[in-house]
Amino acid sequence: MTKAEEVMSEPDFIRVDASVEEAAEELASAENTLIVMEDGEFVGEVHEHTVTRALIPEERLDEEKVVGIIGFSFDTSYEPQTVEDVVDRHEVSVSPEEDLGEVAFLLDKEDLRSLPVVDGGDVVGVVHENDLMGEIAGGG
């Protein structure tokens, strides 16, 4: 079975206190995921679809979705300013030796689009959903 290290991409990092504009600039040249770090520790990821939400006009915001993003109620003037406002926080990661079947299971179970690959406490890569397509197409 193929291992995570065989399909992982180089990680692109961003600080949790970076602006949404900085995240958008980074995503323009990144795979489609930024690994969010706070005090040298992995805290989650930012994806294109979460930053795109910053463009939604205030009157079109769906409170239920925004509450799901930030985890608590908001006033109608909510507008994401920093990566903290749009980060998908989670602690799920995989080792470089993890089988892709387990990676796929975790992506599905946790409703994630990618998983960081952690070795010795350091994020050394990231496996994206689209990285798994070659395994499916090739018959694994």
Q: Are 8 and 126 in contact (CB under 8 A)?
A: yes
CB 64 within 8 A of CB 22: no
Whole-number Å distance between alpha carbons of 40 and 103: 24
Number of domains into which the chain is organized: 1
Dump pLDDT digits (tens) for 117-134: 999 999 999 999 988 887
Residue 64 has what pLDDT?
A: 56
What are 35-81's pLDDT values in tens digits? 999 998 999 999 888 888 777 777 776 665 555 555 444 444 557 88
Distance CA 68, CA 73 (A): 9
- How do residues 16-32 score in pLDDT, each as one tens digit? 999 999 999 999 987 77
CATH number at residue 86: 3.10.580.10
Q: Taking the model in full, what pTM does it have?
A: 0.79
What is the span of the domain harbouring residue 26?
Answer: 4-138
Structure tokens at 126: 């990231």
What burial class does residue 36 get, using C-beta atoms within 10 Å of its C-beta: 0-12 exposed, 13-18 middle, 19+ buried? Answer: buried
pLDDT band, very low/low/confident/very high, at 1 (cuts 50, 70, 90)? confident
Give the pLDDT confidence of 75-115 residue by residue, as tens digits. Answer: 445 578 899 988 989 889 999 999 999 999 999 999 998 99
C-alpha 53/C-alpha 88 separation (Å) is 13
Q: Are 54 and 25 in contact (CB under 8 A)?
A: no
State residue 76's pLDDT score.
46
